[in-house]
Chain A
Amino acid sequence: MNSFQRHNTRRPTKALFAVTVLAAVVVSIDIFSGGAVRSFARTSVAAILQVTNSAQNRIFSSDIFSSRAALRNENEALREEVRALTTLKTENTVLRAENTALKGLITVASEYEGGISTRIISRATASPYGTVMLGAGSDDAVAVGDIVVAPGEVVIGIVADVDSSQSLVQLFFAPGVQTDVRVGEEAFVAEGRGSQNATIEVPRGISIVEGDPVYLAGSPFLLGYVEHAALKPVDAIYTIYIGMPFNISSLSFVRAVRR
């Protein structure tokens, strides 16, 4: 290997080594500071996500792409008027969607007082750990252990980590997450399987059929519905598959309530 090749391959390795050491330092600082670096990272990213979510809502509710060709054919005066009306319509659509979502939470609030309605700010599909970020934290009285409820009194997860202005929710249907549930009068442990599915192991003799509601144990909140029961003639225990009644990606607002 000539001197050029040595120079070309060793320098990047030095950078890699330096970043590895720096990473170890950052992680150590975060651990010993009780999550200060992580909190800073989440706060920064939450600000970015709030802006992108707002922009996305406005773009998709304004019909800007479909109306562009039509606007080009109109005269200047009408164009100005259309722009003004489009802006008003956009704001109205966004407000109406938020209003509808918040109205769905009113029934939950009436049963479990003391909670807070908040927006989901991260993509539910982006986390490899089955978590989502909420736009409310300890400053808004959100605490670790709070249950997170979607419109329709459907529980989706539990607050696992709280910063001052945002919190992290562990979804019940995330892979490996175990949750105490109730089907009828019987208590079971549901295990998350990802993709908004969970399973429970049921001893033979207990009758559970497709469509039965599954509730979070010790609460009136729905976790999901029985979608499929895998029963073989020789099994002493059979597996019940539970599914969420909606797509979590479609959720905008949830409510964090004290357990």
Chain B
Amino acid sequence: MVRIILAVSAYASVLFAPPWVPLIIAGVLALRFSAWEIIPLGILIDFLYLPHTEGDVFNGPWGIPFPATLIALVLAWGFEPIRRQWMR
């Protein structure tokens, strides 16, 4: 139940809250659960807000492609060992 509430809050905050809100919720989800839902969350942020410029198709800040998706992958997979440690 907590996971569902956090996930719904994260998706709603993508539309209505500053970017640090979904980031924090995604971090909490990744620490507590094997949170696959934060990967689509990152993709959603990039699809909605990342500008598509001529010749430089998916360029985010500092030339990083799909930054939010990459952050989501890092959170989901990077926190997995820590989460497993906690789950033991």
Do these two chains interact? yes
Is A127 a contact partner of B19 (Cβ separation < 8 A)?
Answer: yes
Range for the number of chain A residues in contact with chain B: 35 or more
Is B34 a contact partner of A160 (Cβ separation < 8 A)?
Answer: no
- Which of B15, B35, B62, B76 interacts with A48 by CB under 8 Å? B15
Taking CB atoms and an 8 Å cut-off, the chain B residues in 58-79 that contact chain A are 58, 60-62, 66-69, 73, 76-77
User: A176 with B62: in contact, given A27-B69, A128-B68 (CB under 8 Å)?
Assistant: yes
**Once bound together, how far apart are the Cα atoms of A42 and B34, in whole Å?**
27
- On chain B, the residues within 8 Å of A125 by CB distance are 17-18
Is B40 a contact partner of A19 (Cβ separation < 8 A)?
Answer: yes
Is B84 a contact partner of A9 (Cβ separation < 8 A)?
Answer: yes
Is A123 a contact partner of B16 (Cβ separation < 8 A)?
Answer: yes
Determine if A69 is an interface residue (Cβ-Cβ < 8 Å).
no
- On chain A, the residues within 8 Å of B87 by CB distance are 8-9
Q: How far is the CB of A79 from chain B (nearest CB, A)?
A: 33
Range for the number of chain B residues in contact with chain A: 35 or more
**Once bound together, how far apart are the Cα atoms of A18 and B34, in whole Å?**
12
Is A16 a contact partner of B61 (Cβ separation < 8 A)?
Answer: no
Closest to A37 in B: B47
Determine if B14 is an interface residue (Cβ-Cβ < 8 Å).
yes
Is B54 a contact partner of A144 (Cβ separation < 8 A)?
Answer: yes
**Once bound together, how far apart are the Cα atoms of A175 and B33, in whole Å?**
33
Closest to A159 in B: B51
Determine if B44 is an interface residue (Cβ-Cβ < 8 Å).
yes
**Once bound together, how far apart are the Cα atoms of A236 and B58, in whole Å?**
37
Is B15 a contact partner of A126 (Cβ separation < 8 A)?
Answer: yes
Is A176 a contact partner of B61 (Cβ separation < 8 A)?
Answer: yes
Is B49 a contact partner of A127 (Cβ separation < 8 A)?
Answer: yes
Is A129 a contact partner of B36 (Cβ separation < 8 A)?
Answer: no
Closest to B30 in A: A16
Is B88 a contact partner of A5 (Cβ separation < 8 A)?
Answer: yes
**Once bound together, how far apart are the Cα atoms of A35 and B33, in whole Å?**
31
Q: How far is the CB of B84 from chain A (nearest CB, A)?
A: 6
**Once bound together, how far apart are the Cα atoms of A26 and B87, in whole Å?**
31
**Once bound together, how far apart are the Cα atoms of A30 and B15, in whole Å?**
21
Is B58 a contact partner of A20 (Cβ separation < 8 A)?
Answer: no
Is B15 a contact partner of A161 (Cβ separation < 8 A)?
Answer: no
**Once bound together, how far apart are the Cα atoms of A144 and B55, in whole Å?**
13
Taking CB atoms and an 8 Å cut-off, the chain A residues in 1-34 that contact chain B are 1, 5, 8-9, 12-13, 15-16, 18-20, 23, 26-27, 30-31
A-B contact pairs, 13 of them (CB 8 A): A9-B87, A12-B33, A26-B43, A30-B47, A31-B57, A31-B58, A122-B15, A125-B18, A126-B17, A127-B19, A127-B49, A129-B49, A160-B53
